[in-house]
Structures are given as C-alpha cells and as structure tokens.
C-alpha cells in the first residue's frame, strides 16, 4: 500500500552522476586548453605527481589555470544557488541576483571602495594588500548587495505582485548603476579604468589568498542554503501556506536574502558582475530533473552552475588563440538564449511557479 517515495529515483541519480562526470571532464579540459598548448599527459603528470620537469608548464597549471578553474566552479555554483533562492522567494521565474539589482548593489560597494578612497585602493592596490584587501572588497560588495536586497525586501512587504516586484528590482538596478556612473564622472581616468576592467568580469584575477576566502564563503553559503531547503520547499506554495504550516516567514526571508547577498556579493567582489548564470541555471536544473524539491535542486544547481561556468571559461579563452574575452560577455551570450528558451517554453515555466 505504501511504496517508498524517494527523492532520488534511479533516473535522477543517473542524471546527477552524468552531470558530475561532465563537470570532471570540463574541469580538466579547462586546465589543458589555453594560449599555451600543454599536452594532456603532461598536464596530468604536473597535477598528480608534482613533477617539475617543465617549470613554465608547472607554473601555468598551478599558478594560473588551476585557480582559474576552481574559481569558475565556485562562481558558477554560488550564482546558481543564489538565483535559485531568489526565484523561489519571489516566486518569479525571472528573478536572479543580477536582475533584482543585487549585482548592481555589489558593484556600488566596489565602486565606493575603488573610486572614493582614492588611488591607493585601485583594484591592483587591493590585490597587493592580500587577505585584508580581499575582505575589504568582499565586505563592501556584500554590503552593497545586502543594501539593495533589503530595500527590495521592504518594498516586497507592501507589494505582493511578482511582476511589479521584478520591475522594482530592475529600477533599483538602474538607480544603482546611475549612482555609480555619476561617481565615475567625478573620478580620475585611471580609477575608472580599473573599475571598468572589473565590470568585464574575470575568473583569472583571484590570488591564492582570495581563492581561499571565496572557497570558504561559497561552501558556507551553499551549506546554509541546503539547510534552508525545507523552508524553501514550503515557500513554493506561497507565504500564506508556509505560515499556516508553522514556518516563520520573516525569519526565512531574512535568512534567504542574507545568504544570497553573501554569495552574490562575494562572487561579484572577486570576479566582477557576472550575469545570467543565476537566472539560467535554476531553470535548466528544474527542467532536467523535473522537480522543484530544493533538496535535489540545490546540489544539482551547484554542479550545473559549475559546468556552465567552466564551459564559458573555455570559450572565453578562445582555444587556439592568445586572446581572452571578458567572461561577462560570454555568460550573457550563452545565458540569454537559455532565458529565451525558458520563456518560449512557457509550459515549463508556468509549471514551476
């Protein structure tokens, strides 16, 4: 009479294993491909046997490509999880860290550090400051992200309509961008240049110290989100139902927004505003796994986000050439068609909200 209901039926497990395999393959592909051609065999030798035969290759893999690939995995995972939470909280398929102005808020924080405190705190200078400097950027961008999110949260108490909320979020992003551009207008060209380079987004700029900070924050953020999955599942039915089931909706909202702004803020601080991954990946995961259960979605979104980011990174390095394209442009190029696909496949979208 009562067949077992598992959240991980066989087909789903198979899919997740496939995704993990894809992630591994892409991770190593990202290590191998680049402006300098390193054969697969040599690359593996350098990675796993600490051979120092070719000093240049060793340096490229360990100092440049490995941190870069790890950053890609962290950024993809963090942004996807942040986007997933936003979409559930606002019950809106188009919500995400970049659309709701969270990324813009983080940019404002970074702009405040880079443009206002004078030439001593250009991005280059901050990198030289090491760990302390990374925290400064992370805190500034997280505060910026949190500020925008809290304004949106306050407005969301008054407004229940999802579409209106989305427009409010877009307007908040516009206001923030406007403030930054006024700031830029009164800043010196060198400062602006640093800031503009930062807005292109980069996975390669993270030092080992920064990578450590980012890793700790992303892992903590993803674990916290996973702990929130029961609340997130309940919120799928809307706040009235969630409250009637005994969920403290206000607490849950604050927790979700807090975790999202730390995740999105940290990633934006280190790598620049990277768009679209946060919106696109949750949709991909939901339609691949055919569920809205966050206990499945959260880990899958981390894997899928990492896969997409690695893919974007491989493309941005234009295999076989010496140039590197800005990562922000590549995620938009790949992400936008995904968003269009989601909207066109309306049934899929309606089914989830």
Q: How many CA atoms does the CB half-sphere of 137 hold within 13 Å?
A: 30
* DSSP three-state, residue 204: coil
Q: Which stretch binds other proteins (CB under 8 A): 176-184, 209-217, 292-300, 319-327?
A: 292-300
Q: Which is nearer to other proteins, 162 or 199 (CB)?
A: 162
Which one among 42, 200, 295, 325 touches other proteins, defined by CB under 8 A? 295
Q: Does 293 bind other proteins (CB under 8 A)?
A: yes
Give the shortest CB-237-to-other proteins separation in angstroms.
Answer: 7
Q: Does 233 bind other proteins (CB under 8 A)?
A: yes
Give the shortest CB-290-to-other proteins separation in angstroms.
Answer: 7
132 vs 197: CA distance, rounded Å: 21
Which one among 237, 254, 340, 344 touches other proteins, defined by CB under 8 A? 237
Site for other proteins in 199-228 (CB under 8 A): 227
Q: Does 353 bind other proteins (CB under 8 A)?
A: yes
- Nearest residue to 79 (alpha-carbon basis) of 281, 250, 239, 243: 281
Q: Does 292 bind other proteins (CB under 8 A)?
A: yes
Q: Identify whether the C-beta of residue 156 lies closer than 8 Å to the C-beta of residue 100.
A: no
Site for other proteins in 239-258 (CB under 8 A): 240-241, 243-248
Site for other proteins in 24-53 (CB under 8 A): none
Site for other proteins in 76-135 (CB under 8 A): none
DSSP, residue by residue, 269-338: HHH----SHHHHHHHHHHHHHT---HHHHHHHHHHHHHHHHHHHHHHHT-TTSS----HHHHHHHHHHHH
DSSP, residue by residue, 238-287: -HHHHHHTT--HHHHHHHHHHHHHHHHHHHHHHH----SHHHHHHHHHHH
Q: Does 352 bind other proteins (CB under 8 A)?
A: yes
Which one among 236, 325, 329, 334 touches other proteins, defined by CB under 8 A? 236
The single-letter DSSP state of residue 345 is S
Q: Which is nearer to other proteins, 4 or 53 (CB)?
A: 4
177 vs 171: CA distance, rounded Å: 10
97 vs 54: CA distance, rounded Å: 42
Q: Which is nearer to other proteins, 207 or 352 (CB)?
A: 352
Which one among 4, 132, 157, 323 touches other proteins, defined by CB under 8 A? 4
How far separated are the first and last CA of the chain, in Å rounded? 31
Give the shortest CB-119-to-other proteins separation in angstroms.
Answer: 49
Which one among 230, 254, 343, 346 touches other proteins, defined by CB under 8 A? 230
Q: Which is nearer to other proteins, 216 or 240 (CB)?
A: 240
Sign of CA dihedral 305, 266, 296, 94: negative
Site for other proteins in 309-348 (CB under 8 A): 347
Q: How many CA atoms does the CB half-sphere of 84 hold within 13 Å?
A: 36
How many residues interact with other proteins (rule CB under 8 A)? Answer: 32
Binding site for other proteins (CB under 8 A): 1-2, 4-5, 7, 227, 229-230, 233-234, 236-238, 240-241, 243-248, 286, 290-293, 295, 347, 350-353
């Amino acid at each position: 009479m009562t067949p077992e209901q598992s959240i991980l039926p066989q087909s789903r497990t198979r899919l997740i294993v496939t995704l993990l395999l894809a992630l591994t393959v892409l991770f190593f592909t990202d290590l191998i491909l680049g402006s300098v051609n390193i054969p697969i065999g040599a690359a593996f030798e350098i990675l796993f046997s600490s051979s120092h035969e070719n000093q240049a290759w060793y340096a490229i893999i360990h100092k440049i490509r490995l941190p870069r690939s790890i950053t890609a995995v962290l950024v993809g995972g963090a942004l996807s999880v942040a986007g997933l939470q936003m979409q559930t909280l606002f019950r809106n398929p188009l919500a995400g860290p970049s659309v709701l102005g969270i990324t813009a808020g983080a940019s404002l924080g970074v702009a405040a550090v880079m443009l206002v405190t004078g030439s001593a705190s250009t991005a280059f200078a901050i990198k030289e400051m090491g760990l302390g400097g990374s925290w400064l950027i992370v805190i500034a961008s997280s505060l910026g992200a949190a500020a925008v999110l809290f304004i949106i949260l306050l407005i969301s108490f008054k407004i229940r309509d999802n579409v209106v909320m989305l427009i409010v979020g877009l307007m908040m992003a516009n206001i923030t961008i406007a403030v930054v551009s006024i700031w830029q207008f009164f800043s010196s060209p060198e400062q602006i240049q640093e800031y503009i380079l930062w807005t292109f987004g980069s996975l390669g700029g993270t030092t080992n110290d920064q990578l450590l900070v980012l890793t700790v924050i992303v892992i903590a953020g993803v674990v916290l989100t996973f702990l929130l999955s029961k609340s997130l599942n309940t919120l799928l039915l809307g706040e009235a139902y969630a409250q009637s089931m005994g969920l403290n909706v206000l607490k849950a909202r604050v927790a979700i927004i807090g975790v999202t702004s730390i995740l999105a803020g940290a990633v934006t601080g280190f790598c620049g505003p990277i768009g679209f991954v946060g919106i696109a990946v949750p949709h991909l995961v939901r339609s691949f796994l055919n569920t809205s259960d966050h206990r499945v979605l959260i880990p899958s979104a981390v894997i899928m986000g990492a896969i997409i980011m690695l893919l974007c990174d491989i493309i941005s390095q234009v295999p076989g050439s010496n140039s590197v394209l800005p990562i922000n442009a590549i995620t938009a190029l790949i992400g936008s068609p995904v968003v269009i696909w989601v909207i066109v496949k309306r049934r899929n979208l309606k089914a989830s909200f």
